[in-house]
Amino acid sequence: MTTAVVRAAASFGEVVAARRAAGELVVQPRMGFADPALMRQGLLATRDAAATTVGTITLDSYTRLGDHEAVRRALAAGADLNGYPLVDRGAAVTAAMLDGVMSPRFPVQVRHGSADPRRIVRTLLDCGLHATEGGPVSYCLPYSRMPLAVAVDHWRHCCEMLAAARTGEVEPHLETFGGCMMGQLCPPAMLVALSVLEGLFFRQHGIRCISFSYAQQTHAGQDEEAVTALGELVRRHVPDARTHIVVYTYMGVYPRTPAGARRLLAESARIAARSGAARLIVKTTAEAHRIPTVGENVAALELAARAARGVARRAPVADTGIYRQAKALVDNVLTLDADVGRALVAAFASGYLDVPFCLHPDNAGRARGYLDPAGRLEWERIGALPLGGLVELPAAARMTAAGLLDALRFVERKFDGAFDGAATLEHSPRSLT
């Protein structure tokens, strides 16, 4: 693993910034295992991979939902979970698991997916961890039926807990998940705007080290334009915080062939490098079939690092107005209330923010996107979004029910199609190799 000069108790954000300044793309898995010994093994393998890495502890879905009774039943029965049960393992077990693994050169982030992460945040702080991710919108609307106003209150409390943990040696870190809303088929300007707004919410409630997310979509050129726009808006709105951009490898229907999956991952790494992102969250060749093994995670990290190596940052090939659209969305929300949380709630109530294909009761559901013939995500209708004059809408509906299903598989077909005859992965159980 490439090393960087960082101070003895450097934070997650400081480590990433140092490596970005050295011209390195930091790559990170989504890895999470219920067994502490296996979780430790996964972290050690990530640390020792032939790549510039940071660690991940991804939590199980019961913990994400706050169903701790279900976690305890599963652990008592010896049943497996789809992630690490941080709260119910307890701080002592987790601290022991991290001992000798986490270091100033190898920080670890907790990833969870919870609309109410208060117990998660309290526990991770008790374990000596200080980095996590999510947001009041991005971990509420796709994953829960919780009222948005309630999620905003929960996330305000979590920001304040993290900010209170700041010391002269530790700077807590929060990553917005807003740039990943629904995983797919959301036009990039909305993803950029939500990422910026969640970061502003974090900053307003005391967080000074923030990363801003964007998930790879369906067109590389459009993604590079979107990540560039995100960086410009972050510099404009959050000049007083330590910030960086994190790109997620595609989160929708994944290629089923190993070759197609590798090709998609490599493209996401090049998008991140060309657009100046500091960090990439990878996916593996197993994504379409099962939970990846430690070995598959390491292979993905190393492939992404190779794909990004030597790729120079460049300006977007085209300007299709993503920055102007995202800026209009952000600026409009910020006129609604001086408190960013209340402004977010008001914006969704009025339809000024509206996520396509999101079924949460607090989402208006009047905006729609579609894929154009080149594979770019465009607006089909904008509802009450303040984008009039900034987008050209089609004269007739483009996204039928059949078209939606077709669009959901666009990336899968695109990347698998170049590898006709390639063998698909076997549906094998999780193992260490």
Is residue 429 scored above 50 in pLDDT? no
Residue 264 pairs in a beta bridge with: none
Quick one: pLDDT at residue 185? 86
366/196 Cα distance (integer angstroms): 22
What is the mean predicted confidence (pLDDT) over 72-97? 94
Beta strand extents in 122-197 (DSSP E only): 131-134, 173-176
Quick one: pLDDT at residue 433? 29
For residue 398, give the 3-state DSSP assignment: coil
Instruction: Encode pLDDT of 178-207 as tens digits.
Output: 999 987 789 999 999 999 999 999 999 999
Confidence of residue 10 (pLDDT cuts 50, 70, 90): low
Instruction: Encode pLDDT of 273-323 as tens digits.
Output: 999 999 999 999 888 788 899 999 999 999 999 999 989 899 998 899 999
Residue 242 pairs in a beta bridge with: 209
Instruction: Encode pLDDT of 219-253 as tens digits.
Output: 999 999 999 999 999 999 999 999 999 999 999 88
349 vs 8, higher pLDDT: 349
Q: Which of 260, 275, 288, 251 is nearest to 111 (CA)?
A: 251
Residue 101 exposed, middle or buried by CB count within 10 Å (0-12, 13-18, 19+): middle
433/428 Cα distance (integer angstroms): 11
What is the mean predicted confidence (pLDDT) over 250-257? 91
173-176: strand order across its sheet: 26-28, 279-281, 242-248, 209-215, 173-176, 131-134, 108-111, 55-58
Is residue 255 scored above 60 in pLDDT? yes
HEC profile of 360-389: CCCCCCCCEEEECCCCCEEEEECCCCCCCC
Q: Which two tokens stand for residue 15?
A: 């480590």
Residues 6+ apart with CB under 8 A from 21: none
- How many C-beta atoms surround the C-beta of residue 241 within 10 A? 16
What is the mean predicted confidence (pLDDT) over 139-160? 97
Confidence of residue 147 (pLDDT cuts 50, 70, 90): very high
Quick one: pLDDT at residue 425? 30
Q: Could you tell me the residue ranges of all domains in the chain? A: 19-308
271/274 Cα distance (integer angstroms): 5
Containing 268, the helix (H) or strand (E) segment is helix 258-275
3 vs 68, higher pLDDT: 68
The per-residue pLDDT of the chain, averaged, comes to 91
109/114 Cα distance (integer angstroms): 15
What is the mean predicted confidence (pLDDT) over 262-283? 97
> How is residue 214 annotated by DSSP?
E
CB 208 within 8 A of CB 171: yes
Is residue 428 scored above 60 in pLDDT? no
252/185 Cα distance (integer angstroms): 9
Is residue 421 scored above 50 in pLDDT? no
Quick one: pLDDT at residue 430? 32
User: DSSP assignment of 29-41, as one string?
Assistant: -----SSHHHHHH
Is residue 9 scored above 60 in pLDDT? no
Q: Tokens 């030597």 belong to which residue? A: 310
Percentage of the residues of the chain whose pLDDT score is greater than 70: 94
Q: Tokens 């509420």 belong to which residue? A: 140
What's the CATH number of domain 19-308, 3.40.50.2300, 3.90.1170.50, 3.20.20.240, 3.40.50.620? Answer: 3.20.20.240
423 vs 47, higher pLDDT: 47
Give backbone dihedrals phi and psi of 243, rounded to 5 degrees, phi first: -135, 155
> CA dist 129 to 11, 109, 222, 341, 364, Å?
10, 7, 35, 26, 37
Instruction: Encode pLDDT of 335-394 as tens digits.
Output: 999 999 999 999 999 999 999 999 999 999 999 999 998 999 999 999 999 999 999 998
Phi and psi based region of residue 23 (left: phi greater than 0; alpha: psi -120 to 50; beta: remaining): left
Is residue 46 scored above 80 in pLDDT? yes
175 residue type, one letter: E
Quote the distance between the C-alpha of residue 336 and its chain's center.
Answer: 27
Q: Which of 271, 296, 284, 285 is nearest to 419 (CA)?
A: 285
What is the mean predicted confidence (pLDDT) over 255-284? 96
Q: Which residues of 314-353 are buried (b: 16+ CB within 10 A; e: fewer)?
A: eebeeebbbbbbbbbbbebbbebeeebbebbbbbbeebbb
